Amino acid sequence: MHIVGLVSIDLAYLELFVTDLEASASFAEQVCRLRETGREHDAVYFSAGRRPHELVLRAAATASCATIGFQAGDEAELEAIGDRLRRIGVEVAESSGPDREVDRALRFAGPDGQLFEVAAGPPIYEPRGDGEDLLRPRRLGHVSLKTPNPRRLEDFLVDQLGLRVSDRVGDRAAWLRANTDHHGVAVMQEPAGMHHYAFELPDWASFKAVGDHLRTHGRTFIWGPGRHGPGNNLFGYFLDPEGCVIEFYSELEHVEDESHHEVGEWADRPETFNVWGPGPPAGWHDHGLPLASVTEGAHAGL
In the chain, DSSP assigns E strands to 9-18, 35-40, 43-47, 55-59, 64-72, 93-95, 105-109, 115-120, 139-147, 164-169, 173-177, 185-189, 193-200, 223-227, 234-239, 245-250, 264-265
Residue 127's pLDDT is 53
Rounded CA-CA distance 167/182 in Å is 9
Q: Are 40 and 151 part of one and the same domain?
A: no
Dmax (CA) of the chain: 52
| Helix and strand numbers, DSSP H then E, in the chain | 5, 17
Residue where a domain stops, chosen among 73, 89, 122:
122
User: Residue 170's domain is classified under what CATH number?
Assistant: 3.10.180.10
What is the arithmetic mean of pLDDT over 25-30?
A: 97
Residue 52's pLDDT is 82
| Averaged confidence pLDDT in the chain | 89
Report the domain count for the chain. 2
The answer to the question of residue 44 being in a domain is: yes
Contact between residue 116 and residue 184 where contact means Cβ atoms under 8 Å apart: no
Q: What are phi and psi of 235, to 5 degrees?
A: -145, 155
Q: Which domain holds residue 18?
A: 9-122
pLDDT tens track for 87-120: 999 999 988 766 556 668 999 999 999 999 999 8
**Residues whose CB falls within 8 Å of the CB of residue 125, separated by 6 or more in sequence, listed in order:** 47, 49, 50, 51, 52
Q: Is 196 exposed, middle or buried (0-12, 13-18, 19+ CB in 10 A)?
A: buried
The answer to the question of residue 240 being in a domain is: yes
Q: Are 105 and 156 part of one and the same domain?
A: no
Q: Residue 148: is the preceding peptide bond cis (ω within 30°)?
A: no
pLDDT tens track for 178-216: 888 999 999 999 999 999 999 999 999 999 999 999 999
